[in-house]
Structure 1
């Protein structure tokens, strides 16, 4: 089965021990319509919606669960309200392990439903902070293999799983025929994917496969990384959540140091993105390029747009946006923001409507 395990020589486990669902090797798609509107001739989208559970988290889960099984773990566990839990549950099912997803009492919707369908045990906590104590005690007492952060301040997810994100860099260089993009924009919560992507590029550079490195863009919500960069701080502080974001996968008000380090080393930037225009951008990507991405995914394009407007990104630059997950993941949010259309009373009414809204 073709998968990212084609790169097993640079991963922490042999391919013969992999728990795989065919993850990775996702397409790098030119998006010329949006590129033309932004004044970019070489704008690409790395379409991670094509992974088995429809998100980039599968790159993490395949490595984490493979190592967990090889170490004799019987339970894998995570704190998640979304993609990480769904992905871990799928790979645990494939491996014959028990998956525990500790989440928030108010969490609901597609991603929790998805994790349940894969057989995960869902543990909703009334107080968010309690979820980490549950994971820490499960690890200490019952030897759970815990893949997510479980301490405060957050230091990122399990480093073994983050190795899986290195394959993003290897695929990008292959798909660009050995070229290195000038910029890579990644939606960032704690920065696992950003960190792993950077590790991959550094490994390629150290081995002589590439001769230069890209600059990274952290597309974030509340601005903890942008604040740390602006202040020259070695710490990422909690900046608080000033609004309820539509990008629900990225709602944390403090990122992790690993993301800050990757930005500093790459000469990169962090761009805070609010809700304004996100739904329209999601619609634009779907209707003009044929890619339906989660709202949390399209903030990478919003960040590129902001940097193009202020001249930071040049017209001739090669730019890659990582689309981390499918728009089906948060469909209840985007659907609730759209006007409902009542059923039409006969063909004549339907045809009149079409004449109003479509150039047929």
Structure 2
């Protein structure tokens, strides 16, 4: 039995939206907001699971029909306790949900798996995505698995590893100079050719494929299973709020099913602060903050989305802004203290912890989970540029000792 009712509901207007109309977000007060898949949890007996692989064992709570799923074994990612970093910060319980263990090394696999499965169930033959990396690589891989066409619209500036993954998975990959030009092309393809959008394609931004965003609910279900209840705080990097919205819905499902009595505080980390501004001033569609280049390029957005802001508000959450220097230092700190090498965007969660503790958003006894969205291996040059050169030495202990002494002095 599935809890999905076969249609969507707009979270602001309450209007029922058919699956056929689900891919174009509605304009509300100058902004764009997607409808959300409608569920009736009373159809289920608790958190029902199936024999499907990985995260698809939670299929009864996903907006899917019958038939096979498009899976590469995503989900079931480890929850790693960052014991050494926790001790340094004075925290009793600090964990990293390591989403780099997914098939294309990022949490985007959860969205792509559900969104591509839905596209296949609808009989579609082409998916299109606007992406600077992780999202495009994930969609390309799952489209390849499904045997359907994938078109990726990216930027010339994205790291080589990201472009290579997209192309290696068989996606027809093209780049533009102006980021918003991707949305113009993509909207035309969606409306005129019936291609299925895997990401957002309107401005002001709305978020991504509404079916795919439901895939992030499974992170909440897994955390509940791994901890025995929900954590107190979940800290996640944010761009257009897909994961925030999915997490909030997943944790609320656990409350509605009687498996938990509360939802965690969700905290958004970002390089430039649009979510912090929205929490302080109220959400205004199209409101922007100044931006520049950033090592956290995948979340370097000047605008918040309604769905991300709403998730923070509903969970009593917060936002934290961190700069590039703090982010790269945090990336090295987590890797050298607890053996987890995450992408710069993910490292913003580590960089934000001291301020979150000082602001009393995170308490010493809280169970805190950082969402490790992807691996640092996808952008080696950025990390390497901040590291010292590796010394080349003569083959003797004396030379080794001298080099180690130089390294220790930093």
The CA deviation at 1:72 is 1.2
Matched, 1:333 2:374: no
Counterparts of residues 163-242 of structure 1 (less than 5 Å) = 163-177=214-228, 179-235=229-285, 237-241=287-291
Check the 8 A contact 1:60/1:163 in 2, yes or no: yes
- The secondary structure found in structure 2 opposite 1:123 is strand
Structure 2: distance between partners of 1:320 and 1:199: 17
Displacement of 1:347 in angstroms is: 3.4
> Following the alignment from structure 2 to structure 1, what is the Cα–Cα distance between the partners of residues 97 and 140?
24
Tell me the TM-score normalised to structure 2 length.
0.84
Contact 2:278 2:304 in 1 (8 A): no
1:298 aligns with 2:298: no
CA contact (8 A) 2:391 2:403 kept: no
| Aligned partner of 1:19 among 70, 94, 97 | 70
* Structure 2 residue aligned with 1:283: 332
Partner of 1:244: 293
2:312 pairs with 1:273: no
Instruction: Give the structure, 1 or 2, with the largest relative contact order (CA under 8 Å, sep 6 or more).
Output: 1
Unaligned runs of 5+ in 1: none
In structure 1, the partner of 2:199 is 148
225-234 or 108-117: bigger deviation: 225-234
Structure 2 residue aligned with 1:82 = 133
TM-score normalised to the size of structure 1? 0.95
1:347 aligns with 2:396: yes
Question: Aligned to 1:114, which of 165, 184, 203?
Answer: 165
Displacement of 1:282 in angstroms is 1.0
Question: Contact conserved, 1:8 with 1:14, CA < 8 A, in 2?
Answer: no
Q: Any unmatched runs of 5+ in structure 2? A: 1-51
Give the C-alpha shift of residue 234 in structure 1: 4.8
Tell me the alpha carbon deviations over residues 21-52 of structure 1, each in whole angstroms, 9 at most, x when there is no partner.
Answer: 00011011111111111111011110101000
Change (3 A) 1:33 1:100: same
Please give the root-mean-square deviation of Cα atoms over the aligned residues, in Å: 1.7
For 1:234-289, what per-residue CA distance to the aligned partner results, in whole angstroms no more than 9, with x for missing partners?
54611120x32211111111121100000111111011111122222111211221
Change (3 A) 1:136 1:236: closer
Residues 224 and 236, structure 1, Cα contact 8 Å, conserved in 2: no
The answer to whether the 8 Å contact 2:65/2:121 transfers is no
Task: State the Cα distance separating 1:312 from its structure 2 match.
Answer: 2.9
Is the alpha carbon distance of 1:17 and 1:286 closer, same or farther for their aligned partners in structure 2, counting shifts above 3 Å?
same
1:129 corresponds to 2:173: no
> What CA distance in whole angstroms lies between the structure 2 residues aligned with 1:236 and 1:300?
25
Quote the offset at 1:14 in angstroms. Answer: 4.9
Which segment drifts farther, 304-313 or 130-139? Answer: 304-313
Are 2:72 and 1:60 aligned?
no
Deviations 1:272-307 (A, max 9, x none): 111122222111211221111001101112223211
